[in-house]
Structure 1
Amino acid sequence: MIIFLALFGTLLLLLFIGVPVGFAMIGASISVLAATRGFDSIPYEMLAQRTLYGVNSFTLLAIPAFLLIGRLMNASGISDRVFNIARSLVGHLRGGLGHVNVLSSMIFAGMSGSAVADAGGLGPLQMRAMERDGYDRGFSAAVTASSATIGPIIPPSIPAVIYGALANVSIAAVFLGSIVPGVLMGLGLMALVAYLSHKRGYPIAKRATLRQIAAACSAGFLPILTPIIIIAGILSGIFTPTEASAIAVVYCTLIAFLVYGTITVREFWVICKDTAIDTAALLVIIAGSALYAWVLARYQVTSQIIDYLAANIDNKYVLLALLNVFILLVGCFIDSVPALFLLTPILTPLVVSYGIDPVHFGVMMIFNLMIGLVTPPVGTVLFTVQRVADIPFGHLVKEILPFYIPLFAMLIAITFVPWLVLAVPNLLLN
């Protein structure tokens, strides 16, 4: 336990003074090794081998692919087409553009797999449209931020790929297990939007005609096939999740170049370069987390934690409740992807020892960390939307407070009703 406190405490200290997450993990690992073995006895060859081993994974190739898909979607004007589909379907309801905001995020989630891509790509379009129709800027920003968290829930999902690779569980199962929670999350946000819109007297738009709905769906038909291709291909066994991400990249590139003609070769080069930079930053985190996990295993930290909790907690639901609080606190200070690399090697063996399905736990943890994206003080999505909306941060936090109600309600539901997560993968994979 002392080793765990030293590892975790050193990591938090390095993060607090501004060291990047990947290097902070490496620094914490080396510090503990130096304290227990001395600098002269540190196995530097083993350290290099473990960091390289962390990134030497075919599965992780899906991460740059999904990052590239998100950037292609934003740059090619596909966001506009997705928004128009949602507007034609639910724009006539009370607070219609709030519902459009949530529904378009649910559709876009099946393409990008990233909350930041949703907030940065669809977000400005959603907020401009809502303001033009008379919605408060703070309310528009709050709806946009909260709906962006659906991005990594509904498959495909970058966090799901990362969790599946780290926990050694089926990525397809994590994808499928996220469908019901993602849809229920969207419906919960739409219910809150309807209530607040009625209370504040927001406008009702004219119902779209069947011709307008058909036109919007026709214009956006090819992009919304992306998640269908991915999920259908994985379930049919034609390709793996990693291969599916590559196929989706080719498909989206062909749409952008040949069908819509909205991206030039120069723009595509810039998109690829930016994706490579994002991927490199993630690879440093992955390498650092691999070394961090190796040190945890070397000093049997995980088994000590399991033994300690087993002696004090005998109910798995009590354990899940405590872990939810712990993960939420971590998510408030560390971004979701680094948090996954930090927590998965420690917590997955623990929950499995209590008989908890790792797919259920993975979806619960990802969902929890998505709430962290819109929770101060670090909330990446919160700051992204605040910058785009150009409103005081305190005002945005005040406006988003009611939206925590459906988010936390859904987190409690998937925590204590595992069927919500496991029903779809059990039905389709078994």
Structure 2
Amino acid sequence: MTGSVLTPDQAALILFGVFFGLMILRVPVAFALALACLPILIVEPHLSAMTLVQETFNAYNSFILLAVPFFLLTANLMNVGGITDRLMLLSRSMVGHFPGGLAQINVVLSFFFAGISGSSTADAASQSKIFIEAQRKEGYDDSFSVAITAVSAVLAVIIPPSILMIVWGGVLTVSIGALFLAGIIPGLLIALAQMATVHAYASARGYPTYPRASWAAFFSAMYKSVPALLTPAIIIGGKIFGWFTATESACIAVLYAGFLSLLVYREMNLSGLRSALVDTGKFAGIALFCVGTASAFGWLLAYYQIPKAILSGVSAWQMGPIETGFFIAFVFLVVGCFLDAIPAIIIVGTILDPLARSAGLDPVHFAMIGIVSLAFGLVTPPYGLCLMIACSIAGIRMKEALKDTLLMLLPMIAVLVLLIMWPQVALFVPSLISPEFLQ
């Protein structure tokens, strides 16, 4: 930045000021990030508006990012190919007899779905269509139905294979295999916390419960679901044991989901395939456009050394690992309310990475704190994309479901606190299976 017209403070004020100003005006996040870059690119003599285009497209020159549309396509093939229906039957045989049976099934199905799709938005869209109207017919409150559907959808970014883990690993050079392993215990704990929350709601409000399924029904459902349940094992196992990369595993997941839908379950036709491809194109276009403009925004931050300026004051606090973990979680929780998770990783993750390393946090532990914290932003306004999707499908306003949503987040915050204070929640499985992944 030698000879730059703007100082780091001035550049930061313009970047963040314009960005948040556009967000208040409800400009989509990806466009707000791009437009926030333009004033600086025009004013700065060493740069030009073409820099925005160059840096945006440079972000797409990444083999890892190809995994994003492939995992989204896997999720959509599951929905049109009958795979989700079989997983739902298995979920019902397992937890349908718990208080609030249909909502419990919602959580367990989200857990299974998360192990295949990696996308919370895809989960929220499909689960909302399945469960909200069904719960409405069984007497569940709309606010509860929307809240549990949206909150359970965030499991998809925590449980491997998560698209956020792939982006984080690519941007911050962290082993994606280690991140996949690190998400298993936090994801399981959050799913259990959500099931306990449903139990409490159902007991207080008298929500209906299904009869206990027989062992024969359970084993029948398990038998029909085994091919689908092998999908996460293939994806994660192949990545861990070095059989293929994260992108290649996503391609294999698509082929396997297509194989199940066409030849095993035989429920996908040409119309269903077209629908899956169109939906994938829509979701992937939104996600990848955010990646490109966020990368250009992040490039300008690095050009003016703004992260260094920001962290110079924070480093003076001399925080230990636990205090740093809470600070990182707080920053991501706040940022997640306003910014999509992928650009948040590219912008904020790169800013906080030096701080985490200086405090002695393992990169995998730091990543899991960030990813779990960003998961909250998927259901907290004003961004809250998963909550927005569920409310739209239910036909209610977001504020009507906000109280129940926030109550459901409280047990998840307890899991986040446990993750920060006890790193082994994230690091135990990676250290057990592949210790070389850790620092």
Distance (whole Å) between structure 2 residues aligned to residue 162 and residue 245 of structure 1: 13
The Cα offsets for residues 205-232 of structure 1, whole Å up to 9 and x where unpaired, read as 2111111111211222211211111111
Q: Residue 204 of structure 1: SS of its match in structure 2?
A: coil
- Give the superposition deviation at 1:46: 5.3
- Give the superposition deviation at 1:338: 2.9
C-alpha contact (below 8 Å) 1:79/1:122 kept by paired residues: no
**Partner residue in 2 for 1:30:** 38
**Partner residue in 2 for 1:369:** 374
**Partner residue in 1 for 2:85:** 80
Q: Does 1:6 align with 2:11?
A: no
1:284 to 1:143, Cα distance in 2 relative to 1, 3 A: closer
Alignment match of 1:381 (pick from 382, 386, 408):
386
C-alpha contact (below 8 Å) 2:41/2:49 kept by paired residues: no
Alignment match of 1:336 (pick from 334, 341, 345):
341
Q: Residue 433 of structure 2: SS of its match in structure 1?
A: helix
Q: Residue 312 of structure 1: SS of its match in structure 2?
A: coil
The Cα offsets for residues 56-106 of structure 1, whole Å up to 9 and x where unpaired, read as 011111001011111111222322211110110111122222222211110
**Partner residue in 2 for 1:117:** 122
- Give the superposition deviation at 1:8: 1.9
Equivalent AA in structure 1 for residue 265 of structure 2: Y
Distance (whole Å) between structure 1 residues aligned to residue 398 and residue 174 of structure 2: 39
C-alpha contact (below 8 Å) 1:79/1:121 kept by paired residues: no
Deviates more, 1:327-336 or 1:179-188: 327-336
Equivalent AA in structure 2 for residue 205 of structure 1: Y
1:52 to 1:131, Cα distance in 2 relative to 1, 3 A: closer
- Give the superposition deviation at 1:48: 4.4
Gaps of 5+ in 1: none
* Mapping for residues 185-200 of structure 1, pairs under 5 Å: 185-200=190-205
Deviates more, 1:9-18 or 1:178-187: 9-18
- Give the superposition deviation at 1:255: 1.1
Alignment match of 2:420 (pick from 415, 420, 429):
415
Distance (whole Å) between structure 2 residues aligned to residue 127 and residue 253 of structure 1: 27
* Mapping for residues 24-423 of structure 1, pairs under 5 Å: 24-35=32-43, 37-38=44-45, 41-43=46-48, 47-423=52-428
Percentage of matched positions with identical amino acids: 38
C-alpha contact (below 8 Å) 1:331/1:373 kept by paired residues: yes
The Cα offsets for residues 328-385 of structure 1, whole Å up to 9 and x where unpaired, read as 1221122223322332222223322222122112111111111111112221111211
Equivalent AA in structure 1 for residue 29 of structure 2: V
The Cα offsets for residues 250-297 of structure 1, whole Å up to 9 and x where unpaired, read as 000111112222222243234223323432333322222222222222
Q: Residue 267 of structure 2: SS of its match in structure 1?
A: coil
Distance (whole Å) between structure 1 residues aligned to residue 422 and residue 13 of structure 2: 32
Q: Residue 363 of structure 1: SS of its match in structure 2?
A: helix
1:325 to 1:184, Cα distance in 2 relative to 1, 3 A: same
Q: TM (normalized to structure 1)?
A: 0.93
Distance (whole Å) between structure 2 residues aligned to residue 399 and residue 311 of structure 1: 39
- Give the superposition deviation at 1:191: 1.2
The Cα offsets for residues 146-204 of structure 1, whole Å up to 9 and x where unpaired, read as 11111111111111111111111111111111110000001111112112222223333
Equivalent AA in structure 2 for residue 25 of structure 1: L
Distance (whole Å) between structure 1 residues aligned to residue 279 and residue 241 of structure 2: 33
1:116 to 1:50, Cα distance in 2 relative to 1, 3 A: closer
Deviates more, 1:343-352 or 1:124-133: 124-133
Deviates more, 1:314-323 or 1:242-251: 314-323
C-alpha contact (below 8 Å) 1:113/1:154 kept by paired residues: yes
- Give the superposition deviation at 1:319: 2.9
Q: Residue 416 of structure 2: SS of its match in structure 1?
A: helix
Q: Residue 268 of structure 2: SS of its match in structure 1?
A: coil
**Partner residue in 2 for 1:425:** 430
Q: Residue 156 of structure 2: SS of its match in structure 1?
A: coil
Distance (whole Å) between structure 2 residues aligned to residue 401 and residue 45 of structure 1: 43
C-alpha contact (below 8 Å) 1:177/1:424 kept by paired residues: yes
Deviates more, 1:182-191 or 1:114-123: 114-123
Aligned length: 427
- Give the superposition deviation at 1:45: 6.1
Deviates more, 1:298-307 or 1:16-25: 16-25
1:219 to 1:363, Cα distance in 2 relative to 1, 3 A: same
Equivalent AA in structure 2 for residue 100 of structure 1: I
Distance (whole Å) between structure 1 residues aligned to residue 263 and residue 331 of structure 2: 48
Equivalent AA in structure 2 for residue 421 of structure 1: A
Deviates more, 1:115-124 or 1:387-396: 387-396
Gaps of 5+ in 2: 1-7
Distance (whole Å) between structure 2 residues aligned to residue 414 and residue 25 of structure 1: 31
Alignment match of 1:15 (pick from 12, 17, 23):
23
1:354 to 1:6, Cα distance in 2 relative to 1, 3 A: farther
